[in-house]
Amino acid sequence: MLKKTLLATLILVLAILLVACGGGGDTGGEEAAGGSVGDAAHGEELYNQVTIGSASAPGCVTCHSTEEGVVLVGPSHAGLASRAGTYVEGMSAEDYLRESITDPNAHIVDGFTPDVMYQNFGEELQARDINDLIAYMLTLN
């Protein structure tokens, strides 16, 4: 009887350790629950902040409009979800947007100037925030 109790206790302890040490937490990966990139609602909140990031850099809404034909400093984001995957052959909309945020000079839209967009979002924003911004931008049709 003692051996069975000891064995059952050992199995229970191992099971608890496996659950406690198992992945399951947020690793900042690209996929979130539901198969989407991130939380679009939180991304919209971030997008509409006048300043963003640890250095209080200009937020997206400061330079980008979401209205068709309205250009502020950078290109309008109206219809961005359907356009983003067409700018660079073989690059998905998600990958294009991620690179545009983390390396703004990698692909400059025709008619716009390099080095105008803040260059350090990749270092200053959390991976989750970048994912959430991308999720929101992928709703802009």
Residue type, 141: N
Q: In what helix (H) or strand (E) does residue 55 lie, and over which residues does it extend?
A: none
Separation of alpha carbons 110 and 120, rounded Å: 22
Residue 111 sits in a domain whose CATH number is 1.10.760.10
Task: List the pLDDT tens digit at each of the 141 positions of the chain.
Answer: 666 554 454 454 444 444 344 433 343 333 333 345 999 999 999 999 999 999 999 999 999 999 999 999 999 999 999 999 999 999 999 999 999 999 999 999 999 999 999 999 999 999 999 999 999 999 999
First to last CA, the chain: 67
How far from the centroid of its chain's Cα atoms is residue 65's Cα?
19
Q: Are 71 and 65 in contact (CB under 8 A)?
A: yes
Domain that holds residue 56: 36-137
- Would you state the pLDDT for residue 91? 97
Overall number of domains in the chain: 1
Kindly state whether residue 9 falls inside one of the protein's structural domains: no
User: Does residue 13 sit within a domain?
Assistant: no
* pLDDT at 133 (0 to 100): 98
In this structure, is residue 26 part of a structural domain?
no
Residue 78 lies in a domain: yes
Predicted local confidence at residue 36, as pLDDT: 58
Asked, for residue 52, whether it belongs to a domain, the answer is yes
Reported pTM: 0.74
Please state at what angle helix 40-47 crosses helix 127-137, rounded to 10 degrees: 90
* In a domain? residue 28: no
